[in-house]
């Protein structure tokens, strides 16, 4: 497979500059090219400003920002791209201009260099006709602002090779993007429903259903977003919406450009967002029904045409558009009858056939994927829009996929990993909060018992199980990882047991498997303090077995590279002292400030005390009892009702990221 180390970006405008910045931040060598150095310098200045903003917000250090900028070279000569492994085209949306560029790139680049287009509207297959060796051509559609927005749509054309597609997927992971893939169809996934949504708002305006502020306000509430369609068009450019909609007109009358949108584009003006918001319920319902109906109809067409999966539609909206709920989630909540009614109204209005892909069978969300290569099975938890958080669906699908891998006699090794920037960032907190408030804690007990059953199956498998921690690994995610025979982590992986800081304790075997892996004193240290460990710190402690460079991951997963032997690293003096501190001080001493330092400095002991005193005391006491007794994971189930009935649990679970004072109630 093609390994991407040096990346070219052609087009130094807003999108191209943002892409160059993002690729540099992820340790790629980058060449930013355009037809004039004046344009390139402007793009580099925009990158510099963005990095400075990141320094001010303490996202980067000044040294990091300088290092990122130093890896980007500007050029007005396309020949400078000749040694690039991948070149992303990010020029303006003009079909002929893009084709001319691809012809030039074909003559400049090596024959195996990947050429990608960031087009938001044109056919990948049609653009590929301008490329020599079109099997190395692919669509990589990024979203604004590309240095921050994690979504990318991967679109293979008819002649795109499997190797190019796989290389593009790997590059997306290594460049910090969450990818969805789809068939080559105008609008791909997100723009196919998002642009008609913008267009429909202009139609409602021209029909005088309501003014702009009212339409924006209704849409913000109906879709759980921070900006309405008119405000969004102002932010991204009214002409962008117009030209994107023109491309979609091939799909019929529903997609015909609104005269009002055309008029506003020709005026070269933003929409006027001023005015009073109407609270007329009938008007607001009319707006909501039309806007929901259009999105439901288009998304159902996408499923009908098998352009993508339901989960891709949802992920595209959640990550790319930052909608609180994706279209499929909204449809599932509304129910089949309500969705069909809204679709029928819009379909009749535009004399469009009603799609068949409506109902729960079409709205199934697949969050866990299984891939088999040679004698290796790779299970990927694929819910990056929620940091792969565990809920009932995820646990059930994990169980199904692990069973499938377990029963396959050709599979010798099972890898478990995550997509995006997390392995698994714990359990879905909303699930716990909802059941506490409904006084249905027995549902939490049922969920946890089933999770323990699945984890035990993984722990006791006769096959070699390897956890590959690709990013953030918290709570239930770390508990899952500890079920594996071998724990490997990427250099950027971070892990912790944060439960006692949110009012609960690890309930999926964390109190038992952590003690088994690193001993009871250090398990107490991790669980009582909620210490967030880097991959290096986790390796030093013996919590993980090795750190794997990102460039070695693919060969490891394919079986081309052997699984490394666990590194035996003796505890540092600092960790030995921490171990002694937690071995010789009881929980009562730690909570009551009557501990003895026992080898560590008094100020370090005080820091540990100050950390622990801000955790939930009941949760710490239960966790400590479970660790000390070591009666197995099942013992954790006995205290679930007690802990989730506390005021501390509800306070902690509803205050994630905030400082709280636990009462011990």
Look at residues 168, 122, 156 and name the one whose alpha carbon lies nearest to residue 307: 156
pLDDT tens digits, 192-231:
999 999 999 999 999 999 999 999 999 999 999 999 999 9
Selecting among 499, 560, 583, 665, the annotated active-site residue is 499
* End residue of a domain, out of 155, 181, 207: 181
Domain identity same for 559 and 411:
yes
Catalogue the long-range contacts made by 166-169 (C-beta closer than 8 Å, 24 or more residues apart).
166/1, 167/1, 167/2, 167/3, 167/4, 167/86, 167/114, 168/114, 168/116, 168/138, 168/140
Mean pLDDT of the chain: 95
pLDDT tens digits, 598-642:
878 999 999 999 999 999 999 999 999 999 999 999 999 999 999
* End residue of a domain, out of 298, 314, 349: 349
CATH number at residue 12: 3.40.50.720
Structure confidence at residue 43 as a pLDDT band (50, 70, 90): very high
Range of the domain at 330: 190-349
pLDDT tens digits, 490-545:
999 999 999 999 999 999 999 999 999 999 999 999 999 999 999 999 999 999 99
**Residue 456 included in any domain:** yes
Least confident among 28-32, 164-168, 330-334, 553-557: 553-557
Distance CA 178, CA 388 (A): 12
**Residue 363 included in any domain:** no
pLDDT tens digits, 78-131:
999 999 999 999 999 899 999 999 999 999 999 999 999 999 889 999 999 999
Contact 93, 16 (CB under 8 A): no
Q: With 80 as the cut, is the pLDDT of residue 551 above it?
A: no
CATH number at residue 531: 3.90.226.10
Domain identity same for 575 and 517:
yes
Domain identity same for 490 and 625:
yes
Domain identity same for 209 and 117:
no
Domain identity same for 386 and 328:
no
Domain identity same for 312 and 426:
no
Q: For position 80, what pLDDT does the model report?
A: 97
High-pLDDT (> 70) share of the chain, %: 100
Q: Would you put residue 268 in left (φ > 0), alpha (ψ -120 to 50) or beta?
A: left
Active site residue 53: no
The order of strands in the sheet holding 376-381 is: 368-373, 376-381, 413-418, 464-469, 486-489, 546-547
Selecting among 479, 551, 560, 661, the annotated active-site residue is 479
Domain identity same for 154 and 200:
no
pLDDT tens digits, 562-577:
898 877 778 999 999 9
**Residue 172 included in any domain:** yes
**Residue 492 included in any domain:** yes
**Residue 60 included in any domain:** yes
**Residue 354 included in any domain:** no
Domain identity same for 304 and 394:
no
CATH number at residue 195: 1.10.1040.50
Specify the residue for token string 């070279």: 73
Active site residue 406: no
| The total number of structural domains that make up the chain | 3
Distance CA 142, CA 150 (A): 8
Structure confidence at residue 1 as a pLDDT band (50, 70, 90): low
Domain identity same for 493 and 634:
yes
High-pLDDT (> 90) share of the chain, %: 93
Domain identity same for 600 and 520:
yes
**Residue 660 included in any domain:** no
* End residue of a domain, out of 143, 160, 181: 181
Distance CA 3, CA 193 (A): 34
**Residue 627 included in any domain:** yes
**pTM (2 d.p.):** 0.91
Domain identity same for 628 and 564:
yes
Domain identity same for 575 and 633:
yes
Q: Is the CA virtual torsion 144, 145, 147, 150 positive or negative?
A: negative
Distance CA 206, CA 38 (A): 41
């Amino acid at each position: 497979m093609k390994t991407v180390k040096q990346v070219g970006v052609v087009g130094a405008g807003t999108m191209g500059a943002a892409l160059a910045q993002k690729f540099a931040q992820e340790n790629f060598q980058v060449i930013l090219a355009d037809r004039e150095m004046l344009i390139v310098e402007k793009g580099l200045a925009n990158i510099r400003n963005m990095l400075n903003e990141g320094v001010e917000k303490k996202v980067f250090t000044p040294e990091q920002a300088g290092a990122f900028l130093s890896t980007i070279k500007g050029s007005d000569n396309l020949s400078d791209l000749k040694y690039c492994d991948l070149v992303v085209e990010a020029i303006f949306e003009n079909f002929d201009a893009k084709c001319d560029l691809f012809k030039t790139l074909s003559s400049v680049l090596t024959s195996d260099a990947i050429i990608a287009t960031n087009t938001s509207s044109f056919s990948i297959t049609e653009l590929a006709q301008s490329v020599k060796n079109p099997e190395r051509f692919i669509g990589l559609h990024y979203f604004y602002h590309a240095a921050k927005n994690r979504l990318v749509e991967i679109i293979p054309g008819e002649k795109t090779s499997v190797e190019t597609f796989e290389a593009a997927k790997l590059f997306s992971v290594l460049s910090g993007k969450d990818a969805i893939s789809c068939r080559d169809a105008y609008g791909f996934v997100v723009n196919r429903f998002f642009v008609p949504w913008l267009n429909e708002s202009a139609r409602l305006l021209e029909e005088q259903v309501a003014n702009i502020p009212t339409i924006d306000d209704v849409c913000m509430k109906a879709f759980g977003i921070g900006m309405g369609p008119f405000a969004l068009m102002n932010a991204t450019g009214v002409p962008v919406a117009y030209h994107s909609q023109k491309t979609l007109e091939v799909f019929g009358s529903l997609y015909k450009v609104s005269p009002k949108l055309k008029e506003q584009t020709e005026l070269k003006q933003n929409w006027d967002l001023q005015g009073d918001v109407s609270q007329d319920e009938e008007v607001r319902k009319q707006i909501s029904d039309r806007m929901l109906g259009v999105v439901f109809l288009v998304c159902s067409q996408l499923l009908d045409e098998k352009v993508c999966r339901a989960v891709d539609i949802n992920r595209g909206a959640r990550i790319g558009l930052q909608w609180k709920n994706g279209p499929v989630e909204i449809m599932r909540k509304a129910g089949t009858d309500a969705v069909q009614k809204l679709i029928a109204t819009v379909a009749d209005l535009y004399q469009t056939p009603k799609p068949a892909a409506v109902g729960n069978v079409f709205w199934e969300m697949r969050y866990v994927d299984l891939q088999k290569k040679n004698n290796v099975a790779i299970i990927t938890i694929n819910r990056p829009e929620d940091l792969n958080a565990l809920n009932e669906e995820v646990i059930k699908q994990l169980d199904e996929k692990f069973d499938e891998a377990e029963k396959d006699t050709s599979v010798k090794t099972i890898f478990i990993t995550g997509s995006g920037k997390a392995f698994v960032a714990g359990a879905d907190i909303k699930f716990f909060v909802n059941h506490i408030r409904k006084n249905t804690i027995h549902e939490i007990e049922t969920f946890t018992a089933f999770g323990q059953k699945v984890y035990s199956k993984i722990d006791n498998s006769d096959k070699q199980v390897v956890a590959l921690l690709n990013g953030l690994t918290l709570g239930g995610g770390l508990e899952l990882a500890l079920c594996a025979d071998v724990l490997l982590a990427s250099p950027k992986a971070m892990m912790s047991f944060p439960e006692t800081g949110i009012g609960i304790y690890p309930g999926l075997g964390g109190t038992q498997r952590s003690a088994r892996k690193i001993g009871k004193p250090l398990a107490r240290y991790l669980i009582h303090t909620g210490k967030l460990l880097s991959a290096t710190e986790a390796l030093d402690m013996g919590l993980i077995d090795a750190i794997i460079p990102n460039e070695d991951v693919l060969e490891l997963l394919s079986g081309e590279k052997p699984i490394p032997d666990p590194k035996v690293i003796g505890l540092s003096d600092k960790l030995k002292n921490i171990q002694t501190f937690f071995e010789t001080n009881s929980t009562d001493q730690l909570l009551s400030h009557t501990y003895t330092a026992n080898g560590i400095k008094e100020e370090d002991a005080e820091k540990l005390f100050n950390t622990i005193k801000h955790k939930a005391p009941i949760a710490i006491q239960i966790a400590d009892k479970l660790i000390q007794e070591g009666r197995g994971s099942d013992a954790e189930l006995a205290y679930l009702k007690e802990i989730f009935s506390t005021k501390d649990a509800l306070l902690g679970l509803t205050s994630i990221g905030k400082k709280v004072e636990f009462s011990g109630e």
